[in-house]
Chain A
Amino acid sequence: MLDKSDYREYVAKNAPRSPMLRSLVAAFVVGGLICCIGEGIKDAVSAIFPSMTEEDAGAWTTIILIFIGSFLTAIGVYDKIGRFAGGGSMIPITGFANSVVSPALEYNREGVFFGICAKMFVIAGPIIVFGVVAGILAGTVGLFV
């Protein structure tokens, strides 16, 4: 039979690949759009509550974006956006909300304790671990600098 490495070469050469340009453009546009919406929310929050500091306005923007991401996940829209945009909708904070809410929805059937609570972070887990570790490192460095 055909040599195995020959076959692997054939597969690597001929297997269909993701359309690079289309993926990049879609990710750029949608990711940029989400960030624009975030800026818009921040401006709106600052306009409604003029006494709010910029830091607080940023925190409220994050909360609102997370809510929107979770809500769109729950009504089954976010996966459609994600299918079109790929990284564009995965990288912003809404994508993080999506990666926590979607397993929570999925494992709802195994019950609250061993379903939702245990499985909620199966996808977001690495992000949280790296976030915490990076936080500790930065904090430790910051302590001495």
Chain B
Amino acid sequence: MKLGRQSFVSDRPVYLCSSYTIVGPKEGDGNFGELFDTVLKDDLWGERSYEKAESKMHREAIRGGICLAGRRLDEIDLMLAGDLLNELSASGLAMRYFKVPFAGLYNACSTFSEGILLGTALIDGGAANTVTCSTSSHFASAERQYRYPLELGNQRTPTSQWTVTGAGCSVLSSIRPTAEEDAVNRADFSEKMKSMRENCLECAKNEDSERKNGKGDEDAFPSTGMRWAERIKRKILKKLRPDSVADPVCDPNYKRSRVVRISGGTFGKVTDFGINDESNMGGAMAPAAADTLLAHLADTGRSVGDYDAIFTGDLGRFGSEAFEYIMKREGVTFPGNHLDCGALFYKPEQETFQGGSGAGCVNTVFNSYIVKRLESGEWKRVLVLATGALLNKDTPLQKETIPGVSHAFVAESEPL
């Protein structure tokens, strides 16, 4: 049901059936390290390029989410996915493995909350019963697309952020998950993943690639003609460093006592305050987050104190300050419940300056840290305001300023 100018509340309950995260090694060393499902030992994950590695992370995260939810692929009505690469290539390439309708989304780093909002609205309206919302980002592929080559010896400015290497998937459904199902799904996780991988291979194979690459080699199948050197390299890697190409895992002992429900949210407007420094995206996105939060409070009639925590996406340390400054000027002060996913992501000694950013940042934090806190009952109601800076490499060169956008969704927990 629409609420006010920009918001809606879901009339049907929309449950978060499962959430799954895969992150790179640096993220594993960060503040949320133990909460992620899979921490990779090597951010190439046995692939030939970082883009391919990101795509692999994306598809494995989706599979992980679906397996944890105990669904089959034909029970998924729609996949909402996005990433930061040009033309959504990481999601697009990942989708070849699923015979499931796909809607690609792009709102830079706020793509995840956009996906959650759209998924909730679709389920609420009855257009779908189960959807997956996934995003991914990879430090090395983002760096190369937006900035400089990795090995270039340049200095990062103190306002810069570090793109999170990570992918996450949330499975939303109108069907309520149960504790018994959870236990079974977690116990059978690796088996389910294996059979789903075979299923994916079955539906995506073509004879040509099978002849060239041998049967059952999923990583190789669509890229026509993997060279023999590559194949030998991968075999050596599998022998010598098996953990660098390890399969995704899940914690079989994790039990949730509550279930997370997405109860609505607020779509944000594009806000541009004329910041043109592309290395200070926190400053460019803070007004968008403030704009959306003000709209959310006005539409729902709530105050910031009604939430146990209000998470902004990846404003970073300075961006958070700027956000709180704007909110203060608007007469809203936080009772200490404003947190920023990006600013919290890494430890200070990891030298990321403002903290994490990227489409994978808010996604992996929500799907690990926030969801676990909601499921344990520590928090009852959380607002997640993912923020995105809508620029590409050329717009700052063409003297454009950086527009920001922010979408907010409300996650509540109720007894399982």
Contacts and interface: CB of A to CB of B under 8 A. Distances in A.
Asked whether A and B interact, the reply is yes
Contact of B155 (A2, A8, A23, A74): A23
Contacts of B274: 4-5, 8
Contacts of B194: none
B326 interface: yes
Interface stretch (B65-73, B173-181, B283-291, B301-309): B283-291
Interface stretch (A38-46, A57-65, A100-108, A133-141): A100-108
Contacts of A107: 149
B151 A102 contact: yes
A83 B153 contact: yes
Contacts of B152: 79, 82, 98-99, 102-103, 123
Q: Is the interface of B mostly helix, strand, loop or mixed?
A: loop
Contacts of B86: none
A10 B322 contact: yes
Contacts of A93: none
A99 B49 CA distance: 21
Contact of B151 (A15, A17, A98, A109): A98
Nearest to B52: A109
Of B48, B149, B150, B322, most buried by chain A (CB within 10 Å of CB) is: B149
A123 B152 CA distance: 9
A90 B152 CA distance: 9
A31 to B, nearest CB: 12
Interface in A37-79: 73-74, 76, 78-79
A120 to B, nearest CB: 10
A15 B273 contact: no
Given A78-B153, A79-B152, A95-B153, A1 B291 contact: yes
Interface in B102-156: 144, 148-156
Contact of A105 (B151, B159, B321, B325): B151
B287 A7 contact: yes
Nearest to A69: B153
A79 to B, nearest CB: 5
Interface in B255-298: 273-275, 277, 280, 283, 287, 290-291, 294
Contacts of B153: 73, 78-83, 85, 89-90, 95, 98, 102
A107 B50 CA distance: 11
A129 interface: no
Interface string B180-196: 00000000000000000
Contacts of B157: 18
B318 interface: yes
Nearest to A80: B153
B4 interface: no
Chain B interface bracket (under 10, 10 to 19, 20 to 34, 35 or more) = 20 to 34
A96 B158 CA distance: 24
Interface residues of A, number: 39
Contacts of B273: 4, 7-8
A16 B159 contact: yes
A67 to B, nearest CB: 16
B218 to A, nearest CB: 20
Of A74, A89, A99, most buried by chain B (CB within 10 Å of CB) is: A99
B149 A106 contact: yes
B211 interface: no
Of B153, B154, B318, most buried by chain A (CB within 10 Å of CB) is: B153
A80 B150 CA distance: 11
B394 interface: no
B349 interface: no
Interface of B: 48-49, 144, 148-159, 273-275, 277, 280, 283, 287, 290-291, 294, 318, 321-322, 325-326, 329-330, 353
Interface of A: 1-2, 4-5, 7-8, 10-11, 14-19, 23, 73-74, 76, 78-83, 85-86, 89-90, 95, 98-99, 101-103, 105-107, 109, 123
Q: What 10 A-B pairs come out closest when comparing CB atoms?
A: A82-B153, A106-B149, A102-B151, A102-B149, A16-B158, A86-B155, A102-B152, A109-B49, A11-B283, A79-B153
